[in-house]
Amino acid sequence: MCIGFADQISYFRNVCLRNGCPQVRWIDTPRIGTGPEAVKAFFDKVEKAFTDPLTAKEKEAGLYSPPAPARIMFEGTYDESQDFLQQTQLIENCRMCPIAKYTDGLPVIIPTEEKVASMLTGTSHKGTEVLAHPQDRSATVKAGAVITFSQSYNATVEKVAVCAVMAGCKPQYMPAALAIACMGGQTTNCPGTSSSAGYLWCISGPYAKEIGMNAGMDAFDVGNQANMTLGRLGQVISVAIGSCMTGTIRTDAGNIIHGVCFAEDMDGLPAGWETLAEETTYYDAATKTNINFKRTASVVGKFGVRGSMVHTMHSPGSTRALQSGIGGFARYVLAELGHPEWENPPGTDKFVPLNPLMGWTKTVSQMDSAGGRTFLMAPNVAIMELNAGFKKKAEIYQWLFDTYFITVAQYRNMGWFSFATNEGKSNEPVSGKPYNDLPPDTPLHAYGSNPNQNCVMVTNGFADENLYTVMGGRPQTYPIDWWK
């Protein structure tokens, strides 16, 4: 028997199906109101559900295995094909609004046999190949392990090509499209419980320049075909392959991040800073160790973003203040460093190179929950970080880890504490002790339980001073070059 909120019905029913219990008794509970009110609303139903004999249907057993998706072929005019792909279904959870069954709701490129065949020229892999890991991913995930999408579906390379055509990709984008598919598309929380997670995509490495991605001015904005279509592709995959329909089993309820893909600005990286690809490891079966990719490698990164990004800086005045040592933002950072303003006049040997991250990392450390973050910074901001003494990205990660703390008492008052720590019963990673056994004033690392849970990427430049904080930590990554 399952007890839960109304929007979790599909989640629990699908979980039960996949674990050998096709029929399950379900009791709704209110999502708002006090505990006593909730108990009063469902207690009698719980007692009845526990004591009534099982029906013949409820005694059925067996593990759920999804049917192989059909290879749908149809004929018609362009408009008829568009209408077919944009079929909708009225969904009760969406106030009986129509939701697209096969697409993200926008018009798509019709995946004719000719267009799909052209898309497949972008990879050496055959269309009939079932999507699987081409190389060992870890000691347990071996090469050849079939990749499972939402609701336990698998897919062929051809199906990914169909989605790439629909999203508007070009054949040369196909290696990235397959890497995105290997990561489950846009959402893997399907079926799942309510989530506020959105997803950002990024491309790191020479491949981004090969396909003409925008890593510079307004890289998060519209206009670049590779950025836009690869950003959209994950959503099309989730719907067309994973059957993740909003209001039925798609549960990224608070997701306000859609269709964004950007490239890392390799030309804007300060000397000595690593690319995201270089920070990515792969499992080497011969040595049984994880080895970092080289700078010539390219990877797709996937950020799970809770809520949205925090736009933490876009102000030329703030940037000038940091560079000159005079101005409001400079006064704030100098106070954080323990320097009175008069000790830092411009043009003197007492000038202290200012770290722009100090302007908000203290505040960010007390948001959401303890954990790593990703900082997306324009090249100008990265240069200021370099001038402040950070010769490697790893030095920034270590500084964040060593500098910012929250107490156990503060963490207990954060919204994610109960969920993340099982109401304090889980062990705190560094001490190894349950959170409930730690004194309230015990300091916890605010930026992850190890420095490498943080990440810095340089993008969205030339003259801008943008810096965004992604509240989901270091992105997942997947190699692109394997799929060429």
pLDDT of residue 1: 47
Spell out a b/e string for 143-172, using b for 16 or more CB atoms within 10 Å of the CB, else e: eeeebebbbebbbbbbbbbbbbbbbbbbbb
Long-range contacts of 313-317 (CB under 8 A, 24+ apart): 313/356, 313/359, 313/360, 313/381, 313/465, 313/466, 313/467, 314/464, 314/465, 314/466, 314/467, 315/465, 316/465
Per-residue tokens: 43: 């207690």
Q: What 8-state DSSP symbol labels residue 412?
A: H
Per-residue tokens: 450: 């190890």
DSSP state letters, 157-181: HHHHHHHHHHHT--GGGHHHHHHHH
Q: Where are the beta strands (DSSP E) in 45-132?
A: 88-91, 97-100
Q: Where are the beta strands (DSSP E) in 132-280?
A: 197-204, 261-263
pLDDT of residue 146: 93
The Cα-based distances of 213 to 33, 230, 394 in angstroms read 49, 10, 26
Would you say 211 and 229 are in contact if contact means Cβ atoms under 8 Å apart? no
pLDDT of residue 158: 96
Residue 33 burial (10 A CB sphere; 0-12, 13-18, 19+): exposed
The Cα-based distances of 200 to 21, 182, 223, 235, 255 in angstroms read 35, 15, 17, 11, 11
pLDDT of residue 4: 47
Give, for 80, the enclosing helix (H) or strand (E): helix 78-85
pLDDT of residue 24: 77
pLDDT of residue 401: 94
Q: Give the CA dihedral 44, 30, 186, 87, nearest 10 degrees.
A: 80
Cα–Cα distance between 173 and 358 in angstroms, integer?
Answer: 38
Report the SS3 class of residue 74: coil
For tokens 């019709």, the residue is 110
Alpha helices, H only, 302-366:
316-324, 328-337, 361-364
In sequence order, which residues have a C-beta less than 8 Å from that of residue 39 and are 6 or more positions away?
none
Q: Domain locations in the chain?
A: 2-51, 78-290+299-303, 313-474
Our measurement of the distance from residue 281's CA atom to the centroid of its chain's CA atoms, rounded to an integer in Å, reads 18
* pLDDT one-digit tens code per residue, 51-100: 899 888 888 877 767 666 677 777 889 899 999 898 998 987 778 889 88
Long-range contacts of 97-106 (CB under 8 A, 24+ apart): 97/247, 99/245, 99/246, 99/247, 99/248, 100/239, 100/245, 101/239, 101/245, 102/239, 102/240, 103/166, 103/236, 103/239, 103/240, 104/232, 104/235, 104/236, 104/239, 104/259, 106/232
* pLDDT one-digit tens code per residue, 190-206: 766 666 667 889 999 99
Question: Dihedrals φ, ψ of 241, to 5°?
Answer: -100, -45
Residue ranges of the chain whose pLDDT lies below 70:
1-15, 17-18, 30-31, 64, 66-69, 188-189, 191-197, 251-258, 306-316, 323-325, 339-353, 368-370, 463-464
Amino acid, single-letter form, for residue 31: R
